[in-house]
Structure formats: C-alpha cells, structure tokens
Structure 1
Amino acid sequence: MRKWSFLFCFLFLAGFGQFKVLAQDTIAEQPKKEIKYDQSENLNPPVFSKETIAEYKKDSAFDYTEKPVEENWWSQFTNWVWELWLKFWHWLLGDFEAGGFISFLVHVLPYVFVLGIIVFVVWLFYKLNPGATFFKSKEKPGVFFSEEEEIIKSKNIKKLIEKALASKEYRLAVRYYYLLILKKLTDAELINYEFDKTNSEYFAEITSEKINSGFRKVTTLYDYIWYGSFAVTETDFKKAEHTFNALENQIPKTVD
C-alpha cells in the first residue's frame, strides 16, 4: 500500500511539473497584440495642476514607494538554508532549467520533507500515546486507599493480619502490618497520620534515628511487596514479618 501511495505521489508531482512547463510554453507562444495609436487630429495633451500633484504627494494613500523589508534572524536562517539546498542540487545535477521538472522537484522536496516529519511525529505520538499513560489512573491494590484511615482508626489490625494469614494472602498481611506500624507511630505521637501524606513527610516527623531507620526499611519492604507484581510466598512473609516486629518493639508502648 505504501509503495502504491509513493508511486501515485511521484506521478502526480511529475504530471504537475509537466503541466506547468506546457502552460508556460503556451503562454509564451501567444502572438503579441498590435499596439494602436490614436491618429485623430487636434489632440491636446492633458494639463495637470502642479498644486494638485503636490497635494497628492503629501497624501500617504498615494505613496507607492516600496520599502525594503528588514530581514530578521529567522528569514536570514531560512535564506541561508535555501542557498545551501540549491548549491547541493547544482553540485549534484549541475545547472538545470528554471521551469523544468527538476527545478519543480527541487522546490517541492523541502515541503515534502517537512510534511513527512510532521506525519512521523504524529504517528510516533499516536503510537507511544503518552497522553493515555499520563492520564491513566494507576491500578489500585486489593485494599483501597479510601479504607486505610478507617482500618487504622477503628479496626483490630492484629485480627486482620491473622485472617489474611489463614487465607494465605501474604501480600495482604504485609499490607495490614504496615498499617499497624502507622497506627502505633500515631498512638505514640511520633507521626501525625493523615490520609494524603507522603512517606517522606513521615520520615521528616520521626526524630528518633533508630525508629526512623527502621520505618524506612519497612516502608521500602512494603512498597516492594505490596506494589510488586509477583507472588509472595510464606517464606517471603516470614522475612518481612521479622522486620516489622523489630520496628514494632522499638516504638514506645501506649496505654489503651
């Protein structure tokens, strides 16, 4: 299909160039019209008033003086590129007829190149579709973020962990363990929990270096397990559980 499209465009351009040349030849071959002069007698040339002419000269509407157009940097650049383009074709083909097919092709090719670049950019944008990637909402995990605050404030997270383990849902158990850590840090007044806060904001709130370091470890572990698209085995959970328990024991106990 692309080959036929290219062949059609080539034949169209070639035909258009030949049509242009034929049109120019047809115009050039038209006979010149005879100029006729008025041979009547007693002809008097018109008289123009100098005062009237002076008034017309003062009127800007009758000022037909062509002012030279000042070239800016863009026009200078395009002229420079165009001269290089013509020099290249003269070097490649030598001198060619101004109104011939080669001349027409040389003048059309830059526009074809620009059009091709535009089509390629549009195609590439359509192929990659960055807009869809940017606006596409991220896939949410099994426990939605809208439930997070409710779990931390009103649920028995220990029982949720036990229930997830009984069902061998180890990723979900890790999720609950992380929420348990957030709850204990909040109860100990080491962080001020808010639903839309980032991990970096929590890191900045924890002044204890030991607890801060432990919280960073469990956060990295949680992100890796919960958001990772792979199966979590019981062995993986046991390793994560050890890290969570170590941090939990470091957090000061509060009176329920």
Structure 2
Amino acid sequence: MASLFSIGLRSWTGRLPVRLLVLMLLLTRPAAAAVAPDSTTQATIRVLPADNNPALRLRQPDAERLRELRGQRDFRYVEVKSELSAWDMLWLRFWRWLAELLATPSGKFIWQYGIYAFLVVALVFVVLKLMQVDLTRAFGRAPRRAALSYDAETEDLHALDLDVLLTQAEEARNYRLAVRLGYLRVLRQLSDKGLIKWQPDKTNHDYLYELPTGPLPESFRELTRQFEYVWYGEQDDLTADDYERARTTRQAFERRLSSTSQAA
C-alpha cells in the first residue's frame, strides 16, 4: 500500500513544471530568514553627531547701498500713470485700429491700390490747376445766365461801364447781378493799381495769390467767398438786407484798397 502511494506521488509530481516546484520551496522557507538583517547593512548604519554650532546670525544689508538702489529707476516697482491726454489716447486707439485694419487681406488691398488712386487724383488736380481750369465749374453746376447786356465769359473789365451797370442792377433789384458787377469793379481797381494782372481765363483764386502780403488778401478772400456763394450758388432770392451786407463788405475792401494805395 505504501509503495503504491509513493509511486503515485512520484508520477503526479513529475508532471508539475520545474518553476512551480521552485516557487513552492521558496514559500515554505521561514519568514525570519527572509528579513534577517545582513551584517553589511548593519555596518553602514552610523549615528550622526549632535550639531553644537551656535545659532545663525541674520546679516543686515548696508543702509547706504539700499538708499542707492531705491534711487534707481529699475527698482521702482510701481505702476506709472500715463502722461498722455484723452485726445492723445483717442488718436492712439485710432492708429492702432487702422494698423489692425490694414493688416487684414482686404486692408492690404485697399492700402496698396488706394495710394495709386490718390496719386492719380492728385496728378489730375495739379494738371487742372496748371491749365487754369475753374474747378467750381468743372465739378459743379454751371451758373444760370442772368439777363446781361454783355457776354459774361468774354467780358472786358476796361470796356464796360461798371458803375452805370451796377446802378441799373441795384435799381432793378437784381441783387445777384449787382454782386457780380461790384466784384468786377473791385477786380478793375486792383488791375488799375497794378496789384493783379487781369486776364479773362484766370480764376478768382489766381488773383488772390497775386496780391501782396498785408491786409488785402484776407479781405479779398472774404469778398471772393461771398461772390462765389451768390453767383455760382445761384442765389436768386437775395433780399435787400442780404445785398446790403455784401455791398458793405465790398465798400470796406475798396476803402482799405484806397488807404493802402495812398500809404504806398
């Protein structure tokens, strides 16, 4: 019976893998042998001596050095208020917005071809000025023709009796025509005194640039502004009060012109 049991046990254990047998042998070892301290480990454990050094002393920085560092701008960690005014900040925001807009593809296109368009317009403007083209008539409505006894486009200041024509226009209450005739009389006076060189194809602003420096150019500019507003603006509904204001401006210029000529 015992021999049969031993034979059966040997046949069953012979079927187990070798690794499983090794694992079973390891598990059957005493736990004390697994955790027993090694002599080498005990030799490396040392007891550190007690720290007998005195307490550390906090070293204070030099006061003079601190004052020097406080005076430097790099060590001033404070928020500096902007010195720009509200108007400057508005322009700053505008230019920043414009820069962001021009950075887009559409903005780059407009910037690139907008410069060319501006240069073309400027070139056309210079050419028209050199050709002495009246831009008021070129880009605005042509003034309606008043009932004149002469051609306004080819009128000769020295061939017309402007004083008589002006009196007739005032008596007929044709105030728009009277403003024009009064302005032409001023141009004739300037031409007679040698202050301008009158030509039929010149513009009113050409005569303004020909006047010498002094009080005359500013007064003539105001007189020209009133004339162009009435004549080219087709102000047919001028009242007597409106014409009186325009005539007062013209007479004041004529008196200033007379006093300037006498002083010269």
Q: TM-score range by the shorter chain?
A: 0.3 to 0.5
TM-score (norm 2): 0.41
Q: Which has the higher helix share?
A: 1
